[in-house]
Amino acid sequence: MKKVYLETFGCQMNVSDSERVATVLESENFEMTPDEDSADIVLFNTCSVREKAEHKLYTRIGQIRKLYSKKKIVGVLGCVAQLEGETLFDKNPSIDFVLGTKAVGRASKAIESVLEGRSKFLDVGEREPDYDWSVAETQKHSPYISFVPIIEGCNKFCTYCIVPFSRGREKSLPAPEIIRHVHKLHRQGVKEVHLIGQNVNSYRPKTSEGLEDFRGATAFSKLLRAVAATGIARIKFTTSFPRDFHTDIIEAINENENLCNWVHLPVQSGSNKILRLMRRGHTIENYFERIDKIKTSDRKISLTTDIIIGFPNESEVDFQDSLKMVDYCQFDSCYIFKYSPRIGTPAYQFEDNVSVEEKKQRFIELEERQRLNQHRIFKSYLNKTVQVLVEKKSSQNNFDLSGRTSCHKVVQFKGSAALLGKIVDIEITESKSNTLYGKVLNTFV
Ligand code: SAH
Ligand code: SF4
Ligand code: F3S
């Protein structure tokens, strides 16, 4: 039996695709292995969102070719594969096959072709109409948490972003399929589902089938209520697009205990000039209105975001606007990225005129501002009780277990492995900037 090692870069969509690639390969008599050394076939599911992410692919292929004299088959999947297509073979002639973002269901066919002696196999075609979105128990990234894709692709074309080109146009999955999927996971004992998509709140299925019995200002907030009605313990959703973020989402969270109190709403910048150049479709005032609504909830909804610094023409004043914005929003966590020009995007035509040094300075300054805010926010959890889904044994020595709150914060605590997969009450006894520590009070489910 041929062994396959699969490495995944990039977002949850890629992790989710990889789970299904592994599911299909296993059912086609390949053996998945976490050990690249013993593998006959090495697959990379790639990300192209920033230059660094793309570069990782070339570094890793170089390492594989250098380390092993025995020829392993190397296949490139995902976003870099979709964007580069045939040219990947020129960039790196040791690649055996290339499978685009929607062709991942045909991984076994690609491997078989190469095993039969065909070199340079390419498939950047469409998804099969009967594509199976389910994942085998053995291939899930967690036994207790499942990713459930609800929308693929992106129609927004923010000027800096490659995703609409690598993932194609938005396509929503039918609601009955999603709801059936969640029911099934619930029956299997899964505690938490993450509804995933580049922009989940742009969810627009072809028909309202499956949502007729649910209230909601948008199809997405109806879907949230429908998924909540399955009774599964926890539901999280990422990523939300600010312009389409209807405040009814907050109403739905307020009404349903199992809709978790966490919203990831990438703002990208605090300056209206930059937001316009990014073509984000929201102003900072619109964004603040949404934040104000989120903060009025009794549920203490945590708020996380993404910010890009050093976008073309970002002046010191624009950057100061981003600092002010961070202070206003009081994010629970924030991913900060240095602008990375991507070929084929509209912003690639703009001059990348914020110097490397300025980008570095701004990154450090913004990170420090966020760290101070975050420290205060995390400290406010001291002596409070939070509910934690116990996910895994902790990597740190003196605390045995780790999990996440409904508000998506990592909590570490002492406890036996019998608690894995359970939702427990934890009293918070210590806080650091990214992690809470505590002790177990009660176990629920
Ligand atoms: N769909 C989501 C996020 C997609 S990509 C949204 O619209 O917000 C994840 C994050 O990568 C983005 O939020 C953005 O902050 C960052 N990103 C995307 N393209 C980038 C680029 N060219 N340079 C730097 N960061 C980028
Ligand atoms: Fe990229 Fe914008 Fe689409 Fe997000 S909404 S994936 S940032 S184009
Ligand atoms: Fe990267 Fe593709 Fe996701 S570019 S962020 S893996 S959609």
Q: Which domains does the chain have, with CATH numbers?
A: 3-123 (3.40.50.12160), 137-379 (3.80.30.20), 385-443 (2.40.50.140)
Question: In the chain, what percentage of residues exceed pLDDT 90?
Answer: 92
3-state SS of 67-79 is: HCCCCCEEEEEHH
Asked if 255 and 227 touch (Cβ cutoff 8 Å), the reply is: no
Predicted confidence at residue 190, as pLDDT, reads: 97
Predicted confidence at residue 445, as pLDDT, reads: 54
Is any atom of ligand 1 closer than 6 Å to the C-beta of 230? no
Please enumerate in sequence order all residues whose Cβ is within 8 A of that of 33, keeping only pairs 6 or more positions apart, or say none: 3, 4, 5, 39
Question: Is residue 443 very low, low, confident or very high in pLDDT (cuts 50, 70, 90)?
Answer: low
Other C-beta atoms lying within 10 Å of the C-beta of residue 21: 27
Predicted confidence at residue 397, as pLDDT, reads: 63
Which pairs count as long-range contacts for 130-136, CB under 8 Å and 24+ apart, including other chains?
Answer: 131/105, 132/20, 132/24, 132/105, 133/20, 133/173, 133/177, 133/181, 134/20, 134/23, 134/181, 134/184, 135/16, 135/19, 135/20, 135/23, 136/22, 136/23, 136/26, 136/27
Question: Is residue 198 very low, low, confident or very high in pLDDT (cuts 50, 70, 90)?
Answer: very high
Predicted confidence at residue 193, as pLDDT, reads: 98
Among all bound ligands, the one having the nearest atom to the CA of 47 is 3
Question: Is residue 70 very low, low, confident or very high in pLDDT (cuts 50, 70, 90)?
Answer: low
Average pLDDT over residues 347-357: 97
Average pLDDT over residues 34-39: 94
pLDDT in tens, 130-161: 898 889 888 888 999 999 999 999 999 999 99
Among all bound ligands, the one having the nearest atom to the CA of 345 is 1
Distance (Å, whole) CA 325 – CA 235: 28
Is any atom of ligand 3 closer than 6 Å to the C-beta of 13? yes
Q: Which of 302, 322, 304 is nearest to 369 (CA)?
A: 322
Predicted confidence at residue 134, as pLDDT, reads: 87
pLDDT in tens, 277-289: 999 999 999 999 9
User: Whose structure tokens read 């194609």?
Assistant: 168
Is any atom of ligand 1 closer than 6 Å to the C-beta of 340? yes
Average pLDDT over residues 399-413: 94
Task: Report which secondary-structure segment, H or E, holds 202.
Answer: none
Predicted confidence at residue 267, as pLDDT, reads: 98
Predicted confidence at residue 137, as pLDDT, reads: 87
Among all bound ligands, the one having the nearest atom to the CA of 238 is 1
Supply φ then ψ for residue 355, to 5 degrees.
-65, 160
pTM of the model: 0.96
Question: In the chain, what percentage of residues exceed pLDDT 70?
Answer: 98
**Ligand 2 atom closest to the CA of 198, numbered from 1:** 6
Residue 119, classed as helix, strand or coil, is coil
Average pLDDT taken over every residue of the chain: 95
Distance (Å, whole) CA 6 – CA 94: 17
321 alpha carbon – ligand 1 mean position (Å) = 19
Is any atom of ligand 2 closer than 6 Å to the C-beta of 242? no
Across 184-206, b (16+ Cβ under 10 Å) vs e yields ebbeeebbbbbbbbbbbbbbebe
pLDDT in tens, 258-273: 999 999 999 999 999 9
pLDDT in tens, 180-192: 999 999 999 999 9
Average pLDDT over residues 426-444: 91
Distance (Å, whole) CA 132 – CA 413: 38
